[in-house]
A and B are shown apart, each in its own frame.
Chain A
């Protein structure tokens, strides 16, 4: 299964396909570049390394837009309100937890 999706990652680094060379290492770093913990310096360095590879730049911009869309993703469908019976069971469960905890030695 994991191998099957791997081809999706070969796009920007495929020198034969896009006519550029030397961008294969960037492919491995594309994932890193989207990590929320990446520093601004790292991102700038990555962008600088990509300057000679317009398809890489286009690709990473589209990937960043994809991640942004995922962050903003939300379904328009909402769940039906909980029935009174279901809610009562939850309240009861919570109260049992509180009661159980109050019986523990301090």
Chain B
């Protein structure tokens, strides 16, 4: 006997369908799911808890004010994140917490060293990152910091594509950019994150070998 496991995305679609049908019983669960998701996105985008909570609430309010504009329940996640993204942009324009400058991407350039035969790249030993350690607190913190430090245009793509697992087309629509732009930014964002994690692993390895 096999048991079908419902994906989080399909549950969101079911709840949106219920709400579109006028079934208010789906309201609480819908709010619970999306409040957390939007909060995570807005916290990573706004960088401040109070802003993120406010934007998440504003987003949910706009979602319900415009629920009849959701054409197809299957697109609910992308639709909600489009509203969240706009709310976030508005907040960043107003907020005293909005960063004045973006970090330099020079930080993401790979380190090199001379070894006599030429310049070589320093590559960490990623085989020391077993599955069970992927979500360990320290690595999660490094990852969160690396995502936060990405310039906004890369961060938003990475959060929508890799964290929220929206597809390329949905992400392009939310961000009002072409599909190729999403692909390019995603690729570069992943490379930048990889670089940060690589540096952490190199440093950790150097510390252990001392």
Please report A residues at the B interface, Cβ cutoff 8 Å.
1-2, 4-11, 14, 16-19, 30-31, 34-36, 55, 58-59, 61-63, 65-80, 82, 86-87, 89-91, 93-98, 100-101
Main secondary structure, interface of A, reads helix
- CB proximity of B16 to chain A, nearest CB, Å: 12
Residue B81 interfacial (CB < 8 Å): no
Please report B residues at the A interface, Cβ cutoff 8 Å.
19, 22, 24, 27, 31, 35-36, 39-40, 43-44, 49, 52-53, 56-57, 60-61, 64-68, 102, 104-106, 108-110, 112, 117-121, 123-124, 126-127, 129, 134-135, 139-140, 143-144, 147, 151, 153-154, 158, 162-163, 165, 167-168, 183-195, 197-198
Could you tell me if B165 and A71 are in contact, using CB atoms closer than 8 angstroms?
yes
What separation, in Å, do the CA atoms of A23 and B144 have in the docked complex?
31
What separation, in Å, do the CA atoms of A52 and B147 have in the docked complex?
32
- CB proximity of A30 to chain B, nearest CB, Å: 7
Task: Look across to chain B and name the residue whose beta carbon is closest to the beta carbon of A28.
Answer: B187
- CB proximity of B40 to chain A, nearest CB, Å: 5
Task: Look across to chain B and name the residue whose beta carbon is closest to the beta carbon of A101.
Answer: B68
Which residue of A8, A58, A74, A75 contacts B188 across the interface (Cβ within 8 Å)?
A8
Could you tell me if A4 and B105 are in contact, using CB atoms closer than 8 angstroms?
yes
Which residue of B35, B67, B108, B139 contacts A97 across the interface (Cβ within 8 Å)?
B67
